[in-house]
Amino acid sequence: GEDVEQSLFLSVREGDSSVINCTYTDSSSTYLYWYKQEPGAGLQLLTYIFSNMDMKQDQRLTVLLNKKDKHLSLRIADTQTGDSAIYFCAESDSGAGSYQLTFGKGTKLSVIP
Amino acid sequence: DSGVTQTPKHLITATGQRVTLRCSPRSGDLSVYWYQQSLDQGLQFLIQYYNGEERAKGNILERFSAQQFPDLHSELNLSSLELGDSALYFCASSVRDKGTGELFFGEGSRLTVL
């Protein structure tokens, strides 16, 4: 079945870059997503990438997709304390006709001032 | 604020009981999704409704059921509750049922079964 794996914790210093990695198994994934969850809040979509793209940049966020290795990464430049949160990687197979997303267990990013 | 409203925010109940969680999607969104978040299982997709009809089913137990009403709000019913049902239940909504897939999540309903 589908599976999404992420490391559980990442700690970085304020001002450094953060890189959160994710691997997935479903080769038919059409879209891959990064969601952010702050304490006590729901998930918020940060960015997504279509499976025929290699890279997507949006302000401080850079998403890299290696489809051959089924590896997705999220780079946050100039990480701030406000970036401390749990980051979820997710995949969906649009062909399945649903936004049924398969999520990783989340990477907790801690930013040290 | 995502525009998705979930009630109640917190709920404490006993084993064997039945509860109903409610979700109001964003204005204009036709699709509603339910997810369960627990420490050991992570985020698990339960069920999706689109414009009142069930569209997809995930790891939803037979003790759980859901529906989407004509006004597009949705309810998730959990019955014969067990300790292991303690979790955060999220509702999400989207305009369509497939495509680029931006889901808007509510803040969740935290269920504690004692």
> For the segment B52-92, what is each residue's pLDDT rounded down to a tens digit?
999 889 889 999 999 999 999 999 999 999 999 999 999 99
Q: Which residue has the tokens 């959160």?
A: A20
Tokens describing residue A97? 């006709």
Q: A110 in contact with B at a CB cutoff of 8 Å?
A: no
Apex CA A28: angle with CA A26 and CA A32, to 5°?
A: 75
In Å, how far is B52's CA from the nearest CA of chain A?
Answer: 15
Residue B58 to residue A105, Cβ atoms within 8 A: no
Nearest to B48 among A35, A100, A103 (CB): A100
Return mean pLDDT, chain B: 92
Three state DSSP letters for chain A: CCCEEECCEEEEECCCCEEEEEEECCCCCCEEEEEEECCCCCEEEEEEEECCCCEEEECCEEEEEECCCCEEEEEECCCCHHHCEEEEEEEECHHHCCCCCEECCCEEEEEEC
Residue A101 to residue B45, Cβ atoms within 8 A: yes
Q: Return phi, psi of residue A44, to 5°.
A: -120, 130
How high is the pLDDT of residue A29? Answer: 72
How high is the pLDDT of residue A40? Answer: 82
* Cβ-Cβ contacts under 8 Å, B105 against chain A: 35, 42-44
Q: How far apart are CA B67 and CA B20, in angstroms?
A: 11
Question: pLDDT tens, B6-50?
Answer: 999 999 999 999 999 999 999 989 999 999 999 888 899 999 999
Residue A43 to residue B90, Cβ atoms within 8 A: yes
Q: How far apart are CA B110 and CA B24, in angstroms?
A: 16
Q: Along the 113 residues of chain A, how does pLDDT read in single tens digits?
A: 568 999 999 999 999 999 999 999 877 777 899 999 998 888 999 998 988 889 999 999 999 999 999 999 999 999 999 999 999 999 886 555 556 788 999 999 999 99
Residue A99 to residue B108, Cβ atoms within 8 A: no
- 3-state SS, residue B83: helix
Q: Which residue has the tokens 């909504």?
A: B93
Nearest alpha-carbon partner for B63 in B75, B77, B84? B77
Tokens describing residue B74? 């949705």
Residue B2 to residue A44, Cβ atoms within 8 A: yes
Residue B98 to residue A101, Cβ atoms within 8 A: no
Q: How far apart are CA B64 and CA B89, in angstroms?
A: 12
Nearest alpha-carbon partner for A41 in A79, A85, A74, A82? A85
In Å, how far is B79's CA from the nearest CA of chain A?
Answer: 24
How high is the pLDDT of residue B99? Answer: 58
How high is the pLDDT of residue A1? Answer: 54
Nearest to B107 among A35, A42, A88 (CB): A42
